[in-house]
Chain A
Amino acid sequence: MMSYGQFAKHLLVLAGLFALPVLSNAGELGPQPPKAKEKASAKTECVRPVKEMRKNHMKLLLHKRDETMREGVRTKEISLSECIECHVTPKKDGEYPRIGEDEHFCSSCHNYAAVNIDCFDCHSDLPKDASAHMHTLNGNNPHHKDLASKDSLKKETLDVLIEGGKK
């Protein structure tokens, strides 16, 4: 027979084992959405209480999408671009995270829950200030041509960049 003291000890160990996942969950596991920018911080809340947003953001967006698309309602409150504007914040290295990366606000939860969203097949996943200059960065419109107009590079350097130094 187990003594009372021994039984209590075993019980304690068992309780500890059960508590382990709960405790560690609070630390590292689970989705870790990045903090929003200033305007939706602890002082100024999101457009709805956080609890409601976690559960129903897709319903709000679905409703607003039809209103905007079909009836031309352009209010900013429940607009996807405004969500992105506030919630997508730069990573530690200063670059903006893209959809699919855990640092991206939407992906931080959707990756965890394995719920695929196709919003960003069409919609911009970056705030305006990030997407404004990035879209022009391709072969047809390289960055160094913008620099040329700003006189920020030496003429010789530009010749190499633009003409490939063939002159």
Chain B
Amino acid sequence: MSPKTPESTTDQYRRKFLKQSAAVGGLMVAPGVILNQVAHAKPDAEKVSNKNRWGILVDTNKCSKGCNDCVTACQEENGWGKSETKSRPDQQAQWIRKVTITDKQTGHVQSLPLMCQHCENPPCVDVCPTGASMKREDGIVLVDRHICIGCRYCMMACPYKARSFIHEHLQYQKVNAPRGIGTVESCNMCAPRVDRDREPACVEACSKAEHGALLFGDLKDPESAISVELKKHGGKQIRADLGLNTGVRYQGI
């Protein structure tokens, strides 16, 4: 084998030329490609990627005190709440709950929805012995019930008390929200909907009720409504001191 023939040098030049022209071509195509990504839904076969990080911004000043629409929408979407008839109330599932907080000094009362905060560094994932508690590439934290053994360690680790355990046999589950005895569950930011470019059910219900207190979007896209709003007015994490970098942020608390 000859180490270097005139041919191989030619090949190298060719390669270089091809690379350069491909780069130029790429530049020219790129704007079109990016437009394409924004305009169209994620193809079903495409995997979720860390190019996105989904988040929800809650404006507590817009959140109505008597309104429970986000909770009922979540129940309707995911089939929890009414299906557990034998469990005690404190055992029943709560994917999302309304919390009322009062400032004792001023008497200011606030109402806000509390659910899985979809942390960047989720303690529930850290402690899970089987890898069932997991974070998707796009930042959604959820339970893979196929390998969940129901030890409930994640429930103890979660600072937001966002997870529930199913104590009884269930029937008539939603097709898009399988859930059953012996597994832990929590808000999954409506992953099946998000994968099809839809908003989570709670966000949809909130805008339907004309409160608009919930804003869903991509935290990594600087032009998304949620990023713009966060940049303009900011948003707090609950228990920011824990350094979890939550995907759910709150305004007005």
Interface set of A (CB-CB < 8 Å, partner B): 65-67, 69-76, 81, 121-124, 126, 128, 131, 134-141
Q: A124, B172: Cβ atoms under 8 Å?
A: yes
User: Among A65, A135, A138, which residue has its beta carbon within 8 angstroms of that of B174?
Assistant: A135
In the complex, the answer to whether A123 meets B173 with C-beta atoms within 8 Å is yes
Chain A residues within an 8 Å CB radius of B86: none
Q: Judge if B196 is at the interface, Cβ distance under 8 Å.
A: yes
In the complex, chain B residues whose CB is within 8 Å of the CB of A65: 146
Closest chain A CB from B107 CB (angstroms): 35
Would you mind naming 13 contact pairs between A and B with Cβ atoms under 8 Å apart?
Answer: A71-B136, A72-B42, A72-B138, A73-B46, A74-B195, A121-B170, A121-B180, A122-B178, A122-B180, A124-B178, A131-B172, A134-B172, A135-B83
Contact of A135 among B85, B137, B172 (CB under 8 A): B172
Interface residues of B: mostly helix, strand, loop or mixed?
loop
Decide yes or no whether B145 CB sits under 8 A from chain A.
yes
B129 near A: Cβ within 8 Å? no
What's the least CB distance linking A122 to chain B, in Å? 3
Chain B's nearest CB lies how many Å from the CB of A118? 8
- Chain A proximity of B172: nearest CB distance (Å): 4
Tell me if A71 and B48 are in contact (CB < 8 A). yes
Interface presence of B134 (CB below 8 A): yes
Residues from chain A with Cβ under 8 Å of B180 in the complex: 121-122
Q: Which chain B residues numbered 108 to 155 have a C-beta less than 8 Å away from chain A?
A: 134, 136-138, 144-146
Q: Which of B45, B46, B47, B183 contacts A122 (CB 8 A)?
A: B183
Are A124 and B173 in contact, CB atoms less than 8 angstroms apart?
Answer: yes
Q: Does B79 contact A135, Cβ atoms closer than 8 Å?
A: yes
A70 to B169, Cβ gap below 8 A? no
B-side interface residues toward A, CB under 8 Å? 42, 44-48, 79, 82-83, 85, 134, 136-138, 144-146, 169-170, 172-176, 178-183, 191-192, 195-196
User: Which residue in chain A gives the minimum CB-CB distance to B45?
Assistant: A75
Task: Quote the shortest CB–CB distance from A67 to chain B (angstroms).
Answer: 8
Given that A70-B144, A75-B44, A122-B183 are known contacts, is A128 also in contact with B82, CB under 8 Å in the complex?
A: no
- Known contacts A74-B44, A75-B44, A135-B79; A122/B175 CB under 8 A: no
Consensus secondary structure, chain A interface: loop
A159 and B45 CA atoms in complex are apart in Å by: 52
Which chain A residue shows the least CB distance to B140?
A72
List of B residues within 8 angstroms of A124 by Cβ:
172-175, 178
| Distance between B138 CB and nearest chain A CB, rounded to angstroms | 7
Across-interface contacts of B134 in A (CB, < 8 A): 70
Q: A72-B47, A76-B44, A138-B85 are in contact. Are A122 and B144 (CB under 8 A)?
A: no
Are B144 and A69 in touch, CB under 8 angstroms? Answer: yes
A75 to chain B, nearest CB (A): 5
**Could you say which of A65, A67, A124, A137 has the most chain B C-beta atoms within 10 Å of its C-beta?**
A124
CA distance A67 to B46 in the complex (A): 10
Looking at the complex, which one of B85, B144, B169 makes contact with A121 (CB distance below 8 Å)? B169
User: Among the interface residues A121, A123, A139, which one has the most CB atoms of the partner chain B within 10 A?
Assistant: A121
Q: How far in angstroms is the closest Cβ of chain B from A47?
A: 14
Do residues A121 and B175 form an inter-chain contact, with CB atoms below 8 A?
no
A122 lies within 8 A of B191 (CB):
no
Closest chain-B Cβ to A2's Cβ sits at a distance in Å of 64
Q: Which residue of A lies closest to B196 (CB)?
A: A74
Q: Which residues of B contact A70 (CB under 8 A)?
A: 134, 136, 144
Residue among B44, B134, B169, B183 with max Cβ neighbours from chain A (10 Å): B44
In the bound complex, CA of A124 to CA of B176 (Å): 9
